[in-house]
Amino acid sequence: MSTLSRLERWKENGLITTAQFEAISPLVSKDLFSVFIELNALLFLGVLSFVAGVGWTIQTYFVSLGDAAIISALTVLFFLSFYYCFTRGLPYSSGEVESPNMAFDYVLYAGCLILALELAYIETRFHLLQDYWDFYVLLSSLLFFALAYRFDNRLVLSLALSTLAGWFGIRISQFVFRYGESLRPYALAYGVVITGAGVRLYRLGIKKHFMETYLHVAANVMFIALLSGVIDAEGTWLYLAGLLSLGAISVVEGVRFRRFAFVAYGTVYSYIGISAEVLRESRMESTFALTYLIFSGSLVILSMILLARVFGRDE
């Protein structure tokens, strides 16, 4: 007997109501399917396309449009975005807050990008802060953090973290006591700092669900910094040891907390680092390199597919 037949029998026997049957039966017969991810992807791409279009228009026509018109238009756009969010948003809570609608998060994200675009235009045209122009970046980051926590928006939180990383790199690059010409140690320090900040806020019970966003950004920054050290062949073994250690932690903790993305980070970044070292040390002909990449790459891809299926079944 099929599941749909059982549902019909339960309805006839009064075990479920007609409304419940009508809600469940389309799911069982697979007449309904979710397009949530697709809609969010389209909204995200739409926001990026819109802001990119605004930037292109300014770059192309700023002479004919004039500074006053451009600044006024950008100010109106981000003011409308923020007005919409502050009037439609739910009250602040230290816990997770649902968005009023699907477009809400993207309106706020668009407003933040427009604000960043306007600040960049103002500094480019008028040089108000001159040598301290990077404080625009810092102030933007602080504002984005405040908005992310106010409206429970992980997109804006990611923007705040990446903007802070940009400011961090700018300030470090201006110091004369740098670590040679490399910013890798400072990227690692940045990753440790934001991981610590995320853990601290988690323990304080402030937006505990934001913790994963902090870890995603920190993990990628630190993995890329270590991997670049391996590829550049300067202090290779030190960076490779760090990369493999971080990869092992990422895989173990990803399995422990059932977060497949971190398992993938640890596996893929470690594989790239090991492959870079193997191909450099082997000094063999291209046939060996091609054979190694085909077999090892296929093995990694297959293991990722199998792990993803296991995670999917368990969840």
Lowest-confidence pick of 79-88, 134-143, 240-249, 274-283: 274-283
Q: H or E stretch including 247? A: helix 236-256
Is residue 176 scored above 60 in pLDDT? no
Q: H or E stretch including 36? A: helix 36-65
In the chain, domain spans: 34-174, 176-315
Residue 294: Cβ within 10 Å count: 10
Check residues 272 and 313 and name the one with the higher pLDDT.
272
Q: H or E stretch including 21? A: helix 18-28
- Residue 191 CA to chain centroid, in angstroms? 14
CB 7 within 8 A of CB 21: yes
Is residue 179 scored above 60 in pLDDT? no
Structure tokens at 133: 């122009």
pLDDT digits (tens, 9 = 90+) for 186-245: 889 899 999 999 999 999 999 999 999 999 999 999 999 999 988 886 667 889 999 999
CB 267 within 8 A of CB 243: no
Cα gap 214→141, rounded to integer Å: 14
Burial class (CB in 10 A: 0-12, 13-18, 19+), 205: exposed
For residue 151, give the nearest of 191, 229, 96, 74 by alpha carbon. 96
Is residue 76 scored above 90 in pLDDT? yes
pLDDT digits (tens, 9 = 90+) for 105-152: 999 999 999 999 999 899 888 888 877 788 888 999 999 999 999 999
Cα gap 229→237, rounded to integer Å: 9
Cα gap 150→90, rounded to integer Å: 9
Q: Which residues does 158 contact at the CB level (< 8 Å), separation at least 6?
A: 213, 216, 217
Check residues 252 and 25 and name the one with the higher pLDDT.
252
Cα gap 201→160, rounded to integer Å: 16
Residue 110: its pLDDT value, please? 95
Is residue 307 scored above 90 in pLDDT? no
Residue 82: Cβ within 10 Å count: 17
Residue 164: its pLDDT value, please? 92
Measured CA angle at 169 (ends 165, 170), to 5 deg: 115
